[in-house]
């Protein structure tokens, strides 16, 4: 089966109805409220029931019957550490919600009924390279009626195109995308730490108690459950940021991408264009094709008389893949301080003329191979 082309629209892709969208969005309000309620509950168990009632000033009954002695300094120390972690989590979450609610990653749809040929795509053709269809035209969203910047994906919950969409997360309170991805990771890491702290503290003191207490056990269960959930999410998100994949791209792994490269000098000789493989070509022949043979699909003239050559990568070549440290820093910031503080935006928000995002190594290899095979040709991306 031929690999699918990234960005191609499925014929039967159905847009969600406004009612479905409203229901989806309502969950992103309800879920955070439930989580806040649970957070309040475990805070009460940990700080009041355990640190104050049990450790700092145990009742006469506890002291006499179970020989529990007051441990005031332990109680205060445990509350202090928890308060610091909780404060960091709440600040991080508020920052995430502030960015989500500012809707900065949501693209405005085009005018109702407007046709593709009447929509302007100039702003996407200003770069040295951009993702396109076979004709060299930037990708188009039929539902929003706009040309999509690279890595944009249509979100069915919001019914809009989202810049560098990762996923819609009702747990966090909305869309995780270009601007929110960094703050989301910081939030889930802190969430995982807070919950791990909760279940560890509860488990330690539950073990020494002879009479088990239902509130303690409930807090332990909540702590363990959310700790597993948040840790898994943090590991997945951190890894995806380092290898520079969004969740959408990870699902589409293996697909091929067409890229238009701006030509600043034409080749001396006409270029041999790629012809689609015929059925007579054996599987063995296809398999022996060199990894660095990237098909040249066509030459196109776009807005402003700018000339591009359209080339295609191979399946499983990730066009945004750089080194893991580079991917991490592009998402989280150059300095370790930025990795922890939910203040500055991801460096990838600063666009250069190269493209919407920093291109991966394979894209530069494609450009170099083109220049090597076509003497005289110069591509802007290598300048």
Regarding 329 and contact with Zn ion (CB under 5 A), the answer is no
- If the CB atoms of residues 148 and 314 are measured against Zn ion, the closer one turns out to be 148
CB nearer to Zn ion: give 68 or 177. Answer: 177
CA distances from 193 to 84, 197, 233, 325 (A): 11, 6, 12, 23
Distance set, CA 172 to CA 240, 249, 252 (Å): 18, 21, 24
> Between the CA atoms of 230, 96, 332 and 250, what dihedral angle is there, to the nearest 10 degrees?
60
Q: Which of residues 140-179 bind Zn ion (CB under 5 A)?
A: 141, 143-144, 154, 161
Q: How many residues bind to Zn ion according to rule CB under 5 A?
A: 5
Mark residues 284-303: x for contact with Zn ion by CB under 5 A, - for none: --------------------
Stretch that binds Zn ion, among 45-53, 116-124, 136-144, 251-259 (CB under 5 A): 136-144
Stretch in the footprint of Zn ion (CB under 5 A) among 139-147, 239-247, 296-304, 361-369? 139-147
> 49: exposed, middle or buried (C-beta count within 10 Å: 0-12, 13-18, 19+)?
middle
Q: CA-CA distance, 260 to 307, in Å (whole number)? A: 9
Identify whether the C-beta of residue 50 lies closer than 8 Å to the C-beta of residue 202.
yes
Q: H helices then E strands: how many in the chain? A: 10, 11
**Closest to Zn ion by CB, 141 or 233:** 141
What string marks each residue from 85 to 124 as x (binds Zn ion by CB under 5 A) or -?
A: ----------------------------------------
Cα 256 to Cα 266: distance, rounded to the nearest angstrom: 26
Q: Using alpha carbons only, what angle is made at residue 361 by residues 359 and 365, rounded to the nearest 5 degrees?
A: 110
Stretch that binds Zn ion, among 13-21, 133-141, 179-187, 299-307 (CB under 5 A): 133-141
* Closer residue to Zn ion (CB): 161 or 196: 161
Nearer residue to Zn ion within complex by CB, 154 or 318:
154
Name the minimum Å distance from CB 161 to Zn ion.
Answer: 3
Nearer to Zn ion, 88 or 139 (CB): 139
Residues that bind Zn ion (CB under 5 A): 141, 143-144, 154, 161
């Amino acid at each position: 089966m031929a690999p699918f082309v990234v960005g191609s629209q499925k014929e039967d892709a159905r847009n969600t109805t406004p009612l479905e969208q409203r229901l989806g969005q309502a969950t992103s309000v309800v879920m955070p409220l439930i989580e806040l309620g649970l957070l309040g509950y475990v805070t009460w168990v940990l700080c009041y029931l355990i640190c104050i009632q049990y450790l700092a000033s145990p009742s006469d009954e506890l002291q006499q019957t179970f020989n529990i002695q007051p441990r005031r300094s332990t109680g205060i120390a445990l509350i202090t550490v928890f308060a610091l972690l909780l404060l960091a989590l709440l600040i991080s979450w508020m920052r995430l919600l502030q960015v989500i609610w500012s809707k900065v990653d949501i693209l405005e749809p085009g005018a109702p009924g407007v046709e593709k040929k009447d929509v302007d795509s100039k702003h996407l053709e200003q770069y040295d390279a951009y993702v396109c269809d076979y004709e060299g035209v930037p990708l188009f969203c039929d539902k929003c009626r706009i040309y999509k910047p690279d890595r944009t994906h249509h979100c069915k919950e919001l019914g809009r195109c989202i810049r560098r969409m990762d996923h819609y997360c009702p747990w966090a309170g909305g869309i995780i995308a270009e601007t929110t991805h960094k703050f989301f990771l910081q939030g889930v890491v802190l969430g995982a730490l807070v919950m791990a702290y909760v279940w560890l503290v509860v488990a330690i003191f539950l073990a020494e108690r002879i009479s088990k207490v239902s509130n303690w056990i409930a807090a332990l269960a909540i702590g363990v459950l959310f700790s597993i959930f948040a840790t898994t999410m943090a590991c997945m998100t951190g890894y995806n940021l380092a290898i520079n994949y969004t969740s959408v791209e990870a699902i589409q792994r293996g697909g091929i991408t067409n890229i238009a490269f701006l030509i600043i000098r034409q080749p001396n000789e006409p270029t041999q264009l790629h012809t689609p493989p015929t059925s007579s070509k054996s599987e063995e022949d296809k398999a022996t094709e060199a990894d660095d043979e990237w098909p040249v699909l066509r030459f196109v003239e776009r807005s402003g008389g700018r000339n591009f050559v359209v080339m295609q990568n191979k399946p499983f070549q990730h066009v945004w893949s750089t080194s893991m440290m580079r991917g991490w820093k592009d998402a989280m910031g150059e300095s370790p301080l930025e990795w922890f503080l939910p203040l500055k935006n991801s460096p990838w928000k600063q666009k250069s003329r190269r493209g919407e995002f920093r291109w991966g190594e394979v894209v530069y290899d494609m450009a170099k191979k083109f220049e090597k095979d076509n003497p005289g040709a110069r591509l802007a991306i290598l300048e």
